[in-house]
A = this chain, B = another copy of it.
Amino acid sequence: MRVDRGQGLRIVNTFGHQVVDFWAFDARDLGIFLSMEHTRSTLSRLTPRAGDILVDNRREPMLAFESDTSPGVHDTVIAPCDPARYAKLGCAPGHASCADNLHRALEYLGLAVHSCPASFNLWMNIPVTSGGELEWRETVAKPGDSVVFRALIDCIMVMSACPQDVIPINSGRPVSAHYAVIAP
């Protein structure tokens, strides 16, 4: 949805244990978007936390990560799930995916992007071992945990409650999440 400069977006893990993939785009040019690799470079940290400024693919400030009532376990290194992911997991065609959800959400606004940017995977629990291995664990988010992003420019923000039900990242039971736009 459109979130104007100064407005905030609160994303709520209503029932807990749910990963929410998140993207943000410049409302004037969807080729400018929240960039995980530029944000990691700017913060010198794998994962943003409350108080951080998140940047776009031109390294310009796009969002303030204003608050986080959860334990702060999020991911920036894993690609959003897509039809190819579920095909390789042996699912029948037609399994819902975060990438499809992004394209549908933009289509609903009359917008489109050629490819799906890397997502900020809220509440996705992917610890990095000392050897650089990635583990796929259940979220530690509790019911009612929430984050707030404040728009520093006019944005299109998109969320997808991750429909992954093959591996246990959503505790095997994907559920809904909710959001609210907050006044400036």
* Chain A residues near B (Cβ < 8 Å): 31, 35-38, 40-41, 44-47, 57-60, 77-79, 82, 84-85, 88, 114-115, 118, 128, 130, 132-136
Contact = CB atoms under 8 A, between A and B. Distances in A.
9 contacts: A35-B79, A37-B77, A40-B79, A41-B85, A44-B135, A45-B132, A46-B134, A60-B84, A114-B114
Contacts of A58: 84
B132 A31 contact: no
Contacts of A114: 31, 114
Contact of A46 (B82, B115, B132): B132
A45 B84 contact: no
Given A35-B79, A59-B84, A77-B46, A40 B128 contact: no
Contacts of A78: 37, 40-41
Closest 6 CB pairs of A and B: A37-B79, A59-B84, A46-B132, A38-B79, A44-B134, A37-B118
A136 B44 contact: yes
Contacts of A134: 40, 44-46
Contacts of A46: 77, 128, 132-134
A60 B83 CA distance: 12
B85 A59 contact: yes
B79 A77 contact: no
A30 to B, nearest CB: 11
Given A36-B37, A40-B134, A77-B46, A59 B88 contact: yes
